[in-house]
Structure 1
Amino acid sequence: MNWYIKSFQEFSADELYQIIKARVDVFVVEQACPYYELDNHDQRSIHYYLKVDNEIAAYVRIVPKESKYPEVSIGRVLVSEKFRGQGYAKEIMQRAIEYIFEEWNENKIKIQAQEYLKKFYSSFGFRQISDSYLEDNIPHIDMILEKK
């Protein structure tokens, strides 16, 4: 089990393929949601992920402020199906939040959350800042976390 933090430029072709495959497996195939997975934010983002037995177990993308939003954002949060139920989602989110607050010295994080995950994200201190809306036919809400 190994944790990695990499910029887009640091990926090998194999690593990039594994990341994109994991994201497509969860967000496009599993959720039956055709959408633009490759959105041109990867190139400026930090990619934080966990590999177990050389497979992507958990992943998040940290997007710098003034890219997608005025604030730093965390997105593409996933735990691959075979690794669910082991606490990896909570651990990777906590690690990403700490990275943003400690390494980037940011004090605010914005996310676009699937509405059914509101309780999960609220457990980290995120609060809802928008009404529910459809994004790719899935109910979403915007949430913000401010460093205390």
Structure 2
Amino acid sequence: MEWKVKTYKQLTLNELYSLLQLRSEVFVVEQDCVYQDIDGKDQLAYHVLGFEKNKLIAYARIFNKGDYFKEASIGRIIVKAEYRKKDVGHRLLDYSINYINFTLKEKNIRISAQQYLIAFYQKHGFKVDGQGYLEDGIPHVNMILKN
């Protein structure tokens, strides 16, 4: 598995197309959720790209503190369906957390998590922070990781 982190301006057109295609495949088609994925925040984000044999199979967006939440944050965390039982999601999250801790030099990370994934994030040290809410018709909850 190969990992890359790029700013919006560093992405190639093929990488941008692949990440938008994967986000649409998972969040719009698979989860049957019509929402505005192109939200104007990609330009602020670091894009974590996970490739297997030159095919994008995992992706996340990272934000500096203050760009999304007051803490650094990770969002749009996705893994292609056929790779989900292979710990790729855990590796993606570990990679993203380490990037924030060691490259951005931030220790606290906030996420907006789909509620059915609470246990997944808890395995990485995240704790529920507040009440649940609906985002695009899907139950979510804020979670925080304090290091």
TM-score by length of 2: 0.97
State percent identity of aligned pairs.
38
| Secondary structure of 1:124 counterpart | coil
Which residue in the other structure is 1:29 paired with?
A: 29
What does residue range 61-72 of structure 1 map to in structure 2 within 5 Å? 61-72=61-72
| Secondary structure of 1:85 counterpart | helix
Q: Does 1:52 align with 2:49?
A: no
Q: Does 1:101 align with 2:74?
A: no
Which residue in the other structure is 2:111 paired with?
A: 111
Unmatched runs of 5 consecutive residues or more in structure 2: none
Q: Give me the whole-angstrom Cα distance separating, in 2, the residues matched to 1:26 and 1:71.
A: 26
Structure 1 residues 15-60: Cα deviation after superposition (integer angstroms, max 9, x where no partner): 1000000001000110000111011111111111211122211111
Structure 1 residues 45-80: Cα deviation after superposition (integer angstroms, max 9, x where no partner): 111121112221111110121111111110000001
Q: Give the aligned residue type for 2:97.
A: I
Q: Give me the whole-angstrom Cα distance separating, in 2, the residues matched to 1:64 and 1:120.
A: 23
Does the 8 A contact of 1:41 with 1:63 survive in 2? no
What does residue range 35-46 of structure 1 map to in structure 2 within 5 Å? 35-46=35-46
Unmatched runs of 5 consecutive residues or more in structure 1: none
Q: Give me the whole-angstrom Cα distance separating, in 2, the residues matched to 1:130 and 1:41.
A: 24
Q: Give me the whole-angstrom Cα distance separating, in 1, the residues matched to 2:84 and 2:104.
A: 29
Query: Cα distance, 1:132 vs. partner?
Result: 1.2
Q: Give the aligned residue type for 1:143.
A: M
Structure 1 residues 72-94: Cα deviation after superposition (integer angstroms, max 9, x where no partner): 11000000112221110000101
Question: Deviating runs (4+, > 2 A) in structure 1?
Answer: none
RMSD: 0.9
